[in-house]
Amino acid sequence: MAKIKPSQGAPYARIMGVGGYRPTRVVPNEVILETIDSSDEWIRSRSGIATRHWASPEETVTAMSVEAAGKAIADAGLTPEQIGGVIVSTVSHFKQTPAVATEIADKIGAGKPAAFDISAGCAGFGYGLTLAKGMVVEGSAEYVLVIGVERLSDLTDLEDRATAFLFGDGAGAVVVGPAKEPAIGPTVWGSEGDKSETIKQTVAWTDYRDGTVEKFPAITQEGQAVFRWAVFEMAKVAQQALDAAGISAADLDVFIPHQANMRIIDSMVKTLKLPEHVTVARDVETTGNTSAASIPLAMERLLATGQAKSGDTALVIGFGAGLVYAATVVTLP
C-alpha cells in the first residue's frame, strides 16, 4: 500500500495584516425614525447605536471587499500574487453561484487562488479565520485572505421596529500566514440549530419569486431571546476560548466581540470579569451591526486609532444566525 506524503505547512499561523472599508454614507438614527415609531434615545439605550454606514449602488459586496482586501494585503507587506486562498463570509451576496470570492480574487490580481464563500452569519469571520489557519498549517496555501463583508441594508425591513436600526454595511479583511509560534489559538465553535428561528430571513427567495409574498425578504429576530442567549451562553464560550489558549482574562490586552449590541458587549465584559486594562471594541456605536464584517472592522479601527497595538493579545468572538458561534484568542498584527 502506497504511503501518502505528509503535508508541508507552517508550524503555526498568524494574522499578518488587516484592512477595512466603510461606505461613505453615514446614516444617523434620525433617518431610521422616518419609518418606525421610536426615538433616538430608545435606539441608543437598546443598542448603543448612533449611526451606521449604508452602501451606495456602486459600493457592492465585491467593491467593498476589494478595498478592504487591498489594505490588508498592503498591511501584511505582501503582493496580491502571493495570496493562495480567498475566503469570503457573507449572507448578502445575492448570486447563488459563482462564489463572490472568485470575482474578488480576480479583481485584486491574486492569480489562481483557492476561492470560496461561507455562510455563517455573524460568526462568519471566526469560521473563515479558522479555515485559513488550517490551510496555512496544512500547507495548501502560504497566505490566505479572509474577508467578512455585508450589505445588510439590502436585507433590512425599515418598517420593522425591532431591527430597522440595527444593521449596517461594510467589509473587513485579514491576511493569515505562517508563524514560528502560536498566534491564533484553538477555536471554540459550534451551533444550536434548535434556536435557528430566533434570527432568520423572513421568507424564502422562492416565496418572493412565486408571488406567495409581495414584500422582499429581510432579516428578522426575536430580540430578547437573542440577547439572553448572547449574554449568558456566549460568555461561557468566550471563557472556553481563553481556557483553550491557556490564558486568563488578566492576560488579555483587547476584547473584540461581534458588534451586535452595546448592552450585550457590556454584559459580556462584566460576566467575564475583564480587568480595566483590557481595551474593549465598541465600534457598534458608529458602524452598527455589520454581521461577518464587524470583528475585522473593529480590529482595524482599534489598531488605526492606537487603542490597540501590534502584538497585543486579543479575544475575538462572533455569534449569530443559526445560531452559530466561534471564539478564539489571537495576536494582533
277 is catalytic: no
Q: Which of 29, 93, 261, 289 is catalytic?
A: 289
* Cβ proximity of 110 and 83 under 8 Å: yes
Maximum Cα–Cα distance for the chain, whole Å?
A: 71
258 is catalytic: yes
DSSP state of 69: H
Q: Cα dihedral sign for 143, 59, 308, 286?
A: negative
Distance CA 280, CA 206 (A): 41
List the 313-320 sheet strands across, edge first: 188-191, 324-331, 313-320, 254-257, 279-280
Amino acid at 186: P
Q: For residues 92-115, b (16+ Cβ closer than 10 Å) or e, as one string?
A: bbeeeeebbbbbbbbebebeebbb
- Within a 10 A sphere around the Cβ of 27, how many other Cβ atoms? 17
Side-chain-side CA neighbours of 307 within 13 Å: the count stands at 16
Side-chain-side CA neighbours of 260 within 13 Å: the count stands at 28
261 is catalytic: no
Distance CA 294, CA 172 (A): 7
Q: Which of 29, 93, 258, 261 is catalytic?
A: 258
Amino acid at 166: L
Q: Which of 29, 53, 93, 122 is catalytic?
A: 122
Catalytic residues: 122, 258, 289
